[in-house]
Chain A
Amino acid sequence: DQQVKQNSPSLSVQEGRISILNCDYTNSMFDYFLWYKKYPAEGPTFLISISSIKDKNEDGRFTVFLNKSAKHLSLHIVPSQPGDSAVYFCASVGSNFGNEKLTFGTGTRLTIIP
């Protein structure tokens, strides 16, 4: 029973265009959400997060949107660059819990086409 779902295993986007990665969750207790980025043969690195008190958080080219009623979050990358090619994991947790309760999605492989 996957509580965090990334339904698109892969996504290809032209360089300079917008990349949109999606994530759905089912657990109503989740109120803190994160995106991690992973290059091949490396560990994931934290990218951006959002709390449920917000519906948008922006950091440079990266913006995360949260739709609580739909239990859906998305990561927008604008403009997309070749270095953005990686696997992106979303993760969720309830703020009453610790980091050990982070639940990860299965990942989306983003390929930026030059």
Chain B
Amino acid sequence: DGGITQSPKYLFRKEGQNVTLSCEQNLNHDAMYWYRQDPGQGLRLIYYSQIVNDFQKGDIAEGYSVSREKKESFPLTVTSAQKNPTAFYLCASSFTDLSGELFFGEGSRLTVL
């Protein structure tokens, strides 16, 4: 089945630790995205990548880092510099033409203790 897979689904982290969220897609999409969802807010873009070995900051990139070494994979690292990391993180992918149709993973809920 084609799709986009995020792991882990739930993650707990102590303050001061970095954590990496995995995102893999087999839809042959060139573009991949990371969003953050907080209660009462819309999805906010953290980082995106339209091609392998290239990525761009979104609206709230501070305290996060990404890599795009393979077309299928776009991991997100939440670093200790992120002031408020507890959130629901969504990875998505799409073709690069403007269709607005993003395919989302099931999300990863990160809780910082």
B48 sits at the interface (CB 8 A): yes
B100 sits at the interface (CB 8 A): yes
Chain B interface residues toward A at CB < 8 A: 4, 6, 9, 31, 33, 40-45, 48, 50, 56, 58, 90, 92, 94, 96, 98-107
A104 near B43 (CB under 8 angstroms)? yes
B99 near A106 (CB under 8 angstroms)? no
A103–B58 alpha-carbon span in the complex (Å):
12
A64 sits at the interface (CB 8 A): no
For this complex, 12 residue pairs linking A to B, each with C-beta atoms less than 8 Å apart, are A4-B42, A41-B106, A42-B107, A44-B90, A45-B104, A49-B100, A49-B101, A89-B42, A99-B102, A100-B31, A103-B42, A107-B42
The A-B contact count (CB < 8 A) is 70
A34–B95 alpha-carbon span in the complex (Å):
16
Number of A positions contacting B (CB below 8 A): 26
| A99 with B42, Cβ < 8 A, contacts A43-B92, A43-B106 known | no
A42 near B106 (CB under 8 angstroms)? yes
B100 near A100 (CB under 8 angstroms)? no
| A102 with B102, Cβ < 8 A, contacts A43-B90, A89-B42 known | yes
Q: Which residue of B lies closest to A45 (CB)?
A: B104
A95 sits at the interface (CB 8 A): yes
B50 near A98 (CB under 8 angstroms)? yes
A2–B43 alpha-carbon span in the complex (Å):
11
Tell me the A77-104 residues at the B interface (CB within 8 Å).
Answer: 89, 91, 93, 95, 97-100, 102-104
Measured between beta carbons, the chain A residues less than 8 angstroms from B40 are 9, 106
Measured between beta carbons, the chain A residues less than 8 angstroms from B43 are 44, 89, 104
A43–B31 alpha-carbon span in the complex (Å):
17
Measured between beta carbons, the chain B residues less than 8 angstroms from A103 are 42
A62 sits at the interface (CB 8 A): no
Measured between beta carbons, the chain B residues less than 8 angstroms from A2 are 42
B102 near A46 (CB under 8 angstroms)? yes
